[in-house]
Amino acid sequence: MHTLVGRFTSRLGKNYTRVVSRSLATLPKAPQITDIRNVGIIAHIDAGKTTTTERMLYYSGVTNRIGNVDTGDTVTDFLEAERARGITIQSAAITFNWNDHQINLIDTPGHADFNYEVVRSIRVLDGCVTILDGVSGVEALTEKVWKLAAEMQVPRIVYINKMDRPGAGFSRTVREVVSKLKTKVVLLFLPYFEGEEFKGVLDVVNMLRIKYVSQDGRDVEVLPAAETDQNDVFLQARAALIDQLSEFDDAVLDEFIDTNDVQTKTLVEAIRKCTSENNIVPVLCGASFRNIGIQPLMEACTSYLPSPTVPVNSNILTMLAFKVRHDPQRGVMVFVRVYSGQLKRNLQLYNTTTKKKEKVSKLLRMQADNPVEQESFGPGEIAVLLGTNSIRTGDTIVGGPKLTNAQKSIQLQPIQTPPPVFFIRISPKSVGDMRTMKDALDILLREDPSLHLTYDEEAAQYLLSGMGELHLEIATDRLVNELNARVEIGEVMITLKETFAGTSSTVTKSSVDANGGTTTVSVTALSHDSASSHEGSPVSSMSTQIIDQNNVSTVFRGHRLIDGSDVKKQVVYGITPVLARGGFYGHALFGLDFQCEVKISPEAENPDLVTPLIREATIEAISTVHDKSFELLEPVMDVDIQVPRSTMGAVISDLSTNRRGQMKSLEDSEEIGEDNDYMDISKTIWAPVDHTMYMSKHEDGKGNNVRLQARVPLRKMVGYLSTLRSITQGRGAFEMNFSKFSPVPSQDIEDVRNQ
């Protein structure tokens, strides 16, 4: 037996020797783009995202101690609210070096209320690590964030955490990944147990057993597969790996046919290629809290996740702002992803979204809450801009000495903002507190575009809307304690909207300026196809026709060119405040179509009249709709509940009777996905026996837990957690996400309005 006892190297291979880690100070100033990895950590709440991130920072040399979520001293959870609650609220970016690669890591929240943080982080990533709880398996929010990453075609790695816990099932979780997340996987690391104790991992690619022998996770024993009592497991896993890669990579198949084996180098190249093309998902495992399996995960990030790519034919600086944060000492900090070109300090920038020039005073690389100043950033890097006050999340920024009109029109894919479903009333404690309140709210809204602010003229109060009760609780806590706003805050309430059936009258408004030029607008408002399908923006669609005397869509006004896009913006500006005013019920109008016609004569000197004319015409058009045509809309949620089988009947009864929920599905928690082809694949995939997994079974062979999926009005879900815990003796759990706005039943309208 030739056991090598040593320290983990940052480059996995056949020689595990002294640890090689580089702190931030030794990072190259201008890394090659092929050596950069922009990686996000995504998962369900409590799966171990921040715990895993803390170990990465420790082993890479960025920190000299391991932070703990329970004691509130982690690097990435630096907000007071995060440390007090033990959860991640906002995404945190941090950079470290591993295996001669620069990893820009973003730790994202796991709570559904902060899903927008995940959305805007995934938008700028090149790869994701999806962390799963080995006991709970694939949970509801995991499916949601996985779907987001899949839609954006971001390659993923799966890390099955908490393999040291009773009830952890590696193979069970792998099969859930395939069936629930609808993907094909390759098993790169397997759990290694001594008796019932999780001690390390089996490296299938390098055919090595890695046993962790020190509490800090640095000291390991490494043994070749042939010299272990798991050699048969190694050989089966290796054969399965080769077979799965052969489906997508001819080099693997050809080498196996020629030599009846495949070299490690060939396997690594094939895994990287197949992962980057989203054909397969590598699976690893570990126990982050026990410091087992972190270094192999970091190695997998550099070996298998792709480096950034530069857009073709792009020779100018192009960036996307994906996050804005207010710092008490540094001011406004804008996080950007550089896609092409070089970002340098004091470079003249141009915001193609707002059409404004921008200039930054400093460039920073963020280490969570600790910035490091830099002179420049290249393609693929994540930077922070200081000194700008107008850039917002989703803005496209370009830079260069002489930008062409085409370059000033570049637009990167924006970041979609979900609709809010809860709101609270906010008002200043005194007239003198109004300015401070507005300034603080401006900071909140700029930081978090999933917060919305409207003004209730009747109550003379502002309404702050968000994604959930916790979302608003955190926002108002920051408003008072961090931004020092003196405000009165009302109770959390549910956002209601309204729409109408049918079509309004067509209203025409005209204005003649001093030069004799005429601007005329006509507006017709009509209902969307179905009130029950309102899932998007307040305006479902808008048809705008721009006409002048010569029937062309562009008109010169001295040195100013008015084209179709300019006029459409003015139309939107005119309609939007009318929607906020509401109709019969006094709630914001939602899901309407508008037909607008704009006529501008060549003599007209003031085309800006379009906005007020559109506003007047829209108000009058809405007023022609009969009162009985209006419908009150409420948010309806998709609710995903996991409960013990013995309590299933009581939970369903409560959902159906007390909460007017509509049941969508009832499945054993192990069998989600059997309505898709991937369920069959999950049953045939090779995986080791879960010999330590404890799970009680019923006589019918079904698992102990069941999963219920229902669609329930949000007003009926307020305070549901305490009810669920009471019914299930504390063993039930649920997640809910916004589905759509749906009509309130006529018999409930008065109750809903009173609430």
Beta strands in 29-123 (DSSP E): 36-43, 92-98, 101-107
Nearest to 10 by CA among 80, 60, 81: 60
Among all chains, which residue has been given the structure tokens 């007090």? Answer: 84
Task: Give residue 458's pLDDT.
Answer: 62
Contact 617, 570 (CB under 8 A): no
Q: Which residue has the higher pLDDT, 196 or 315?
A: 196
The predicted-structure confidence for 656-691, as pLDDT tens digits, reads as follows: 999 988 888 776 544 444 446 888 888 899 999 887
CB atoms within 10 A of CB 565: 10
Would you place residue 163 in the very low, low, confident or very high pLDDT band (cuts 50, 70, 90)? very high
Contact 469, 422 (CB under 8 A): yes
Task: Give residue 532's pLDDT.
Answer: 42
Task: Give residue 141's pLDDT.
Answer: 77
The predicted-structure confidence for 292-349, as pLDDT tens digits, reads as follows: 999 999 999 999 999 998 776 677 899 998 888 888 788 888 989 999 999 998 888 9
CB atoms within 10 A of CB 355: 9
Q: What's the predicted TM-score (pTM) here?
A: 0.75
- Strand, coil or helix: 613: helix
Which pair of structure tokens corresponds to residue 538? 């307040």
User: Which residues pair with residue 594 across a beta bridge?
Assistant: 525, 542
Q: What is the 3-state secondary structure (H, E, C) of 325-362?
A: EEECCCEEEEEEEEEECCEECCCEEEECCCCEEEECCE
The predicted-structure confidence for 698-746, as pLDDT tens digits, reads as follows: 333 344 678 888 999 988 888 787 888 889 887 787 877 788 888 998 8
Task: Give residue 48's pLDDT.
Answer: 87
Strands 36-43 and 127-133, sheet pairing: parallel
Mean pLDDT for 546-560 is: 38
Q: What is the DSSP string of 688-705?
A: ---TT------TTS--SE
Task: Give residue 550's pLDDT.
Answer: 38
Question: Does residue 164 have a pLDDT over 60?
Answer: yes
Question: Does residue 168 have a pLDDT over 50?
Answer: yes
Nearest to 621 by CA among 588, 656, 596, 647: 596
Task: Give residue 569's pLDDT.
Answer: 78
Would you place residue 2 in the very low, low, confident or very high pLDDT band (cuts 50, 70, 90)? very low
Question: Does residue 357 have a pLDDT over 60?
Answer: yes
Fill in the amino acid letter for 557: R
Q: What is the mean pLDDT of the chain?
A: 81
Would you place residue 752 in the very low, low, confident or very high pLDDT band (cuts 50, 70, 90)? confident
Name, of 18-22, 26-30, 310-314, the range with top average pLDDT.
310-314
Task: Give residue 547's pLDDT.
Answer: 47
Name, of 167-176, 403-412, 487-496, the range with top average pLDDT.
167-176
Task: Give residue 589's pLDDT.
Answer: 87
User: Which residues pair with residue 547 across a beta bridge?
Assistant: 599
Would you place residue 25 in the very low, low, confident or very high pLDDT band (cuts 50, 70, 90)? very low
Task: Give residue 237's pLDDT.
Answer: 96
Mean pLDDT for 31-59 is: 88
Fill in the amino acid letter for 157: I
Q: Give CA–CA dist 68/545, Å, rounded.
A: 59
Name, of 295-309, 470-484, 603-617, the range with top average pLDDT.
295-309
Q: Give CA–CA dist 599/447, Å, rounded.
A: 39
DSSP alpha helices (H): ranges in 383-518?
Answer: 434-447, 469-481
Q: Which residue has the higher pLDDT, 123 or 530?
A: 123
CB atoms within 10 A of CB 238: 18
Name, of 70-74, 310-314, 449-453, the range with top average pLDDT.
449-453
Least confident of 131-145, 585-599, 661-675: 661-675
Q: Which residue has the higher pLDDT, 367 or 429?
A: 429
Q: Give CA–CA dist 512/517, Å, rounded.
A: 6
Question: Does residue 595 have a pLDDT over 90?
Answer: no
Question: Does residue 620 have a pLDDT over 90?
Answer: yes
Task: Give residue 198's pLDDT.
Answer: 94
Would you place residue 354 in the very low, low, confident or very high pLDDT band (cuts 50, 70, 90)? confident
Would you place residue 291 in the very low, low, confident or very high pLDDT band (cuts 50, 70, 90)? very high
Name, of 95-104, 133-142, 360-369, the range with top average pLDDT.
95-104
Q: Give CA–CA dist 364/543, Å, rounded.
A: 44
Q: Give CA–CA dist 155/122, Å, rounded.
A: 11
Would you place residue 285 in the very low, low, confident or very high pLDDT band (cuts 50, 70, 90)? very high
Q: Give CA–CA dist 39/85, Å, rounded.
A: 25
Task: Give residue 14's pLDDT.
Answer: 37
Name, of 196-210, 426-440, 442-456, 585-599, the range with top average pLDDT.
196-210
Least confident of 20-24, 60-64, 203-207, 462-466: 20-24
Q: Give CA–CA dist 245/603, Å, rounded.
A: 69
Which pair of structure tokens corresponds to residue 49? 């995202």
Mean pLDDT for 17-39 is: 60
Question: Does residue 28 have a pLDDT over 50?
Answer: no
User: Which residues pair with residue 733 across a beta bridge?
Assistant: 642
Strands 348-351 and 356-359, sheet pairing: antiparallel
Least confident of 4-8, 13-17, 413-417: 13-17
Question: Does residue 192 have a pLDDT over 90?
Answer: yes
Mean pLDDT for 600-617 is: 79
The predicted-structure confidence for 363-419, as pLDDT tens digits, reads as follows: 998 765 677 888 899 999 999 999 887 888 888 999 977 888 888 888 887 777 777
Mean pLDDT for 165-194 is: 94
Mean pLDDT for 81-100 is: 69
Task: Give residue 676's pLDDT.
Answer: 66
Q: Give CA–CA dist 468/421, Å, rounded.
A: 7
Q: Give CA–CA dist 492/473, Å, rounded.
A: 9
Mean pLDDT for 501-528 is: 83
Q: Which residue has the higher pLDDT, 717 or 602?
A: 717
Q: Which residue has the higher pLDDT, 462 or 669?
A: 462
- For the chain, give the percent of residues with pLDDT over 90: 33
Q: Give CA–CA dist 274/188, Å, rounded.
A: 13
Would you place residue 10 in the very low, low, confident or very high pLDDT band (cuts 50, 70, 90)? very low
Task: Give residue 174's pLDDT.
Answer: 96
Q: Which residue has the higher pLDDT, 411 or 277?
A: 277
Task: Give residue 101's pLDDT.
Answer: 93
Task: Give residue 561's pLDDT.
Answer: 41
- 411 backbone φψ class: left, alpha, beta (φ>0; ψ -120 to 50): beta
Question: Does residue 82 have a pLDDT over 70?
Answer: no
Question: Does residue 81 have a pLDDT over 70?
Answer: no
Least confident of 42-51, 193-202, 268-277: 42-51
Would you place residue 87 in the very low, low, confident or very high pLDDT band (cuts 50, 70, 90)? low
